[in-house]
Structure 1
């Protein structure tokens, strides 16, 4: 049975600290660079936070897709979940840069404006070699790649092979990473980037709007395209890029084991394989402890999932996307570290209430209520 909202408090309890960890990482380098350099040599706190996010997404996104069983509903839900705040943040970043408070990536000024807009609005800019307006948006590109892969597997009725997918991606990451340590799609390959970005839009639109073979073909094409983009376009290299995807599918494998679709030893084997292949993906002493502790935090929260979590922790999880996306903007105008966090959390409660929550309600109205379980069936 897919997770219901009452059973997801443990995921919110992970999201909030993960978002704050990324904010702490960036603020530490901004306000206390000497101290933070010592911390970062031992554990990359930002990497810990984003890998917690990746595991959470891996666990919940396929469950959400399968609960509704409709690609149109899935893509509309994702659009209304992410785009309203993203567009607001992009406009705010441009406004702050115009006022001199926020320095945009220098590459934005030399790339065609339509390409910059296409890359950042579709959230695949990281995989197209297009600079991000807000640096932390790089993780959204891997989230989008995961969505496309998950949709492709769902449409071809291969979604249950999450553990196998995680293992294959992790094992492939090592040789591909050694062969391709940097992105192949980079520099000023504007036409290639534009065509690939447009292809992403087309496969999403067709898979959401078509039926039958056209939908299947679009979903499969999207999955293959996303995999190719991660291998060829990852700015962080194929090893790290595929490790990110493998970690998300490891999160899905945990969900499958919880539902009884696969054995627990299979899910655990997938997680351990991903960790074994991923700890060497980056030559940084803080990398391996970060991803190992991220997996440990996810495992601990999962084992405690039936226990109540502090309400304030769940509330932080609800506003985690605002915390993640807006903290780089606030960081540019905040004069000191304590004030930064005192302003950040209330600001994100406000943006969630005024932007995220209304958009999500509108998305639910457009897609209709979730299907009700019939007596004696799983929901």
Structure 2
């Protein structure tokens, strides 16, 4: 029934509530803005949800890469995991906008359609100052940067240094945030917004298909591009962008400690440094409580990872990507908050069953067939 092995059910048990926290955050601002403003001043549930996602990705992405032991298999798996639903929902957004049901980001009118499409389909739009077709996909830009860096570290056999990387990135985030408080990739540079995603795609393709030094060079280039985009292109500011990367590496450090690759003390230091440096990254009273709660929720779920969770909780995590991508659309088409939540979960379960699950199975079959041919 679940997409993850039983030993990883705790990750799905985290994803579900994280997705609901983000939906609650946006629903609150839509349906009860006055009340939600008071809530948001105390704790930003949207930030809580996405930082839980970042910690979970940090834990599981390097594990997935190393379990496969093959960058081609990793990128194929990521493509079939994310792109089918992303493309489908982007298409739905455009159809609803054409019908006058859904408003699009105003900035879309100012940028060429091919440039916007390329940025969104490569999931780099947030780091290229491009308007998103789906508002919440800004987090996928940081996920993509993390994938690129993780593949580079794996290819040069430095993946085990996650804790050290987290400890370095966190104070660097503070320093860069003070020196470079705003993105340096602002404005409307369509040439850069075209060439950079093309370069990223080229690095991924060569890494996946190349061999030897060519593969390594492409992986390193991709990793440097990912890091550079976060430092120079984070629309929320360099401090926040680099802290997001550090947070994912903190999640990886926990994975390394669990595997016995690094001492628990080292992982704990990495997590603590990232949290301390991340708390003041945003001048918002709800930010620090949200980040603290996200780290606490991750720690609690990890501590309970060998327990049995109620079946609905990992199931909710299994459909969380659909929940995450679909909820902004429903906010525009369903005016009633109760009906909104009543529709969101069944609809997300349906898109998981009809789009996500078949695509993942197809990806696995293609990988298996490729492995047999080799």
Query: Which consecutive residues of structure 2, in runs of 5 or more, have no partner in the other structure?
Result: none
Moved more, 17-26 or 104-113: 104-113
- The aligned counterpart of 1:79 is 79
**What are the equivalent positions in structure 2 for 1:143-158 lying under 5 Å apart?**
143-158=143-158
- The aligned counterpart of 1:228 is 228
Partner-residue secondary structure (3-state), 1:8: helix
- The aligned counterpart of 2:16 is 16
- The aligned counterpart of 1:366 is 366
Query: Which consecutive residues of structure 1, in runs of 5 or more, have no partner in the other structure?
Result: 372-379
Partner-residue secondary structure (3-state), 1:160: helix
Deviation digits for residues 271-313 of structure 1, max 9, x if unmatched? 0000010000000000000011000000000000000000000
- The aligned counterpart of 1:88 is 88
**What are the equivalent positions in structure 2 for 1:52-131 lying under 5 Å apart?**
52-131=52-131
Partners in 1 of 2:182 and 2:369 — Cα distance?
Answer: 44
Partners in 1 of 2:186 and 2:366 — Cα distance?
Answer: 38
Quote the offset at 1:229 in angstroms: 0.3
Deviation beyond 3 Å, 4+ runs, structure 1: none
Quote the offset at 1:114 in angstroms: 1.2
Quote the offset at 1:113 in angstroms: 1.3
Partner-residue secondary structure (3-state), 2:159: coil
TM superposition score normalised by structure 1? 0.96
Deviation digits for residues 203-245 of structure 1, max 9, x if unmatched? 0111011010010000001111111000000001110000000
Quote the offset at 1:26 in angstroms: 0.2
Change (3 A) 1:335 1:39: same
- The aligned counterpart of 1:289 is 289
TM superposition score normalised by structure 2? 0.97
- The aligned counterpart of 2:167 is 167
**What are the equivalent positions in structure 2 for 1:126-145 lying under 5 Å apart?**
126-145=126-145
Change (3 A) 1:257 1:277: same
The 8 Å contact of residues 130 and 186 in structure 1, kept in 2 or not, is answered as no
Partners in 2 of 1:70 and 1:309 — Cα distance?
Answer: 32
Quote the offset at 1:107 in angstroms: 1.2
The 8 Å contact of residues 68 and 370 in structure 1, kept in 2 or not, is answered as no
Moved more, 94-103 or 213-222: 94-103
State yes or no: 1:41 paired with 2:41: yes
The 8 Å contact of residues 10 and 302 in structure 1, kept in 2 or not, is answered as yes
Partners in 1 of 2:320 and 2:76 — Cα distance?
Answer: 20
- The aligned counterpart of 1:206 is 206
Moved more, 180-189 or 143-152: 180-189
- The aligned counterpart of 1:275 is 275
- The aligned counterpart of 1:176 is 176
User: Once superposed, what is the RMSD of the aligned Cα atoms?
Assistant: 1.1
Quote the offset at 1:370 in angstroms: 12
Deviation digits for residues 179-214 of structure 1, max 9, x if unmatched? 111111121111111111111110011101101001
